[in-house]
Structure 1
Amino acid sequence: MSRIRTSRTRLVGAAATVVLAAFSLTACKDGTGTVEDGAPVPSGSSTSSASASAPTTPKGSTSSTTPTASTDRSGPSEASSSDARPAPEGSTQAAGGADSGKPVTCEGSNTKTVAEPLPRPVNHMLLTVTNTGGKPCYLYGYPAVRFGEAQSVPRADEDSKPQAVVTLKQGESGYASVKLSAADDSGSGGHKVKSLTVYFQGPSGQESVGAGAHPSLPADGTYVDDTLEVTYWQQSMDDAINW
């Protein structure tokens, strides 16, 4: 009789163990695969990887959403700093630099002067001055010519004075004619010369500026007398030879 009771007791215990195991499984999962609160998280689950990828607040920080440093600074930005860099050497923007197109005074160093005899009027010579510089130049007044070793320059025909200053762009030419001697031999002190220097005037017309020019004359010389006279510089050749 005692053996029967013992077998029943063992059977009941085994059944209770099965029930408890099933209850434990039910407590761990809700049947949908979701882990209940307090249950251990299985290794490799998606919940574990999500927790690992979440940003953590640095130790000592008061907020996990602290804004980054603003790029709106009160000082000059990098772009404005580059704008303030000095212009390259030779640039027209350099401080105090002159305008490359501003005219200068025509003189020997920025021009080329040629002297040629004219068939008409007789005993006349044409002076041609060409701008060979990099800027426009003003051809002021009239040529102050010196033939040979003369100590003075000849007078200018005031009637030939133009209304505006002759301006030569690069490569352009201005003109003046020179009366060398009287056509009727009324002049005195006639002689031949083999050299000529042309001096250029400044804005006031009372002084010579820059270097003089030394156009060549015919090898046998040029005859001049005391009736020497020049015209003012002209913008066109026709105006120069018509005086």
Structure 2
Amino acid sequence: MRLSVRTLALPAAALAAALSLTACQSSSDPDAAPAPTSASPRQTTAATPATPATPATPTTTAPDPAPTTAPATTPATKPPKKTTAPTPADNGGNGGNGDDPAPALTPCTAKDVKVVASKVSRPINHLALTVTNVGDRPCDAVGAPLVGFDQSQAPIRIVEESKPQAVVTLTPGESAYASLILTGEPGGDTHGMTVRTVKVNLTTDSMVTVPAPTGTYVDDGAAVSYWQRELADALQY
């Protein structure tokens, strides 16, 4: 029984000695590789890539608002021009050339005037038409009278070159004159005839019929002038 114990104790002592020798050799050998150290690996933090700089956004300057046009100032309304009494110089339709509109006319009518057809010594083959204001207010001898004879329908020709610079305005008692040319140039078929009456249209709706002087002979060349203030001015046509 004791022999068994020793036999087992000897190998155990030999194993211990061997381990001790190995440890001494390891510590005294400089070339021996160091025992690996079980160090924890260094924790490497991955480099975070730099965030690219955001490009500066160009500042957009808002355009100035379109200038607001101030509403045009409405000019003050001018008061209407005063209408003056008609005068010969103001009649734009008969020689007046001003910028103002011609004043309203008061044409002479059959109830305002007396008309006479009379002979004259010169020029030959002429009659004088006289219109006299027998009313109590002024009236205007407008334009030229429209003249016919007896039963004729169409008026005779008007001598346009006799148009005056202004309408003749007649106050009560005043007269105006027109030249009545009885015949045209001699010769040709002029359809002449002797007439007894003269029809004088003062306006389109006011006609006066007067006796013609005895032996009044007219033809297709008959014509009449515009009303004139003086008889001599009328008889020059």
TM-score by length of 1: 0.52
Name the structure with the higher helix share. Answer: 1
Partner of 2:157: 155
In structure 1, give the amino acid aligned to 2:212.
L
**Matched-pair identity in %:** 41
Partner of 1:137: 139
1:104 deviation in Å? 2.7
1:200 deviation in Å? 1.0
In structure 2, runs of 5+ residues without a counterpart are 1-84, 86-103
User: What are the within-5 Å matches in structure 2 for residues 158-197 of structure 1?
Assistant: 158-182=160-184, 184-186=186-188, 188-197=190-199
In structure 1, runs of 5+ residues without a counterpart are 1-98, 202-207
Q: Let me know the Cα RMSD of the aligned residues.
A: 1.9
Q: Deviations over 1:108-159 (max 9, x none)?
A: 1110001001221110000000000111001111011110111100111111
CA shift in 2, pair 1:135/1:158, >3 Å: same
Q: Are the counterparts in 1 of residues 185 and 221 from structure 2 also a CA contact under 8 Å? A: no
Q: Are the counterparts in 2 of residues 122 and 183 from structure 1 also a CA contact under 8 Å? A: no
In structure 2, give the amino acid aligned to 1:188.
T
Q: Are the counterparts in 1 of residues 117 and 128 from structure 2 also a CA contact under 8 Å? A: yes
Partner of 1:123: 125
Partner of 2:234: 240
SS across alignment from 2:147: strand
SS across alignment from 1:189: coil
In structure 2, give the amino acid aligned to 1:138.
D
In structure 2, give the amino acid aligned to 1:215.
V
1:182 deviation in Å? 2.7
In structure 1, give the amino acid aligned to 2:153.
Q
Structure 1: distance between partners of 2:159 and 2:148? 16
1:185 deviation in Å? 4.4
Q: Deviations over 1:4-54 (max 9, x none)?
A: xxxxxxxxxxxxxxxxxxxxxxxxxxxxxxxxxxxxxxxxxxxxxxxxxxx
1:103 deviation in Å? 6.7
1:217 deviation in Å? 1.7
Q: Deviations over 1:35-82 (max 9, x none)?
A: xxxxxxxxxxxxxxxxxxxxxxxxxxxxxxxxxxxxxxxxxxxxxxxx
Structure 1: distance between partners of 2:220 and 2:200? 18
Structure 2: distance between partners of 1:185 and 1:226? 11
Structure 1: distance between partners of 2:122 and 2:189? 19
For these two proteins, the number of residue pairs brought into alignment is 135
Structure 2: distance between partners of 1:187 and 1:138? 38
Structure 2: distance between partners of 1:111 and 1:120? 26
1:174 deviation in Å? 0.2
TM-score by length of 2: 0.53
SS across alignment from 2:140: strand
Q: Are the counterparts in 2 of residues 234 and 240 from structure 1 also a CA contact under 8 Å? A: yes
User: What are the within-5 Å matches in structure 2 for residues 1-243 of structure 1?
Assistant: 104-182=106-184, 184-186=186-188, 188-201=190-203, 208-209=204-205, 211-218=206-213, 220-243=214-237
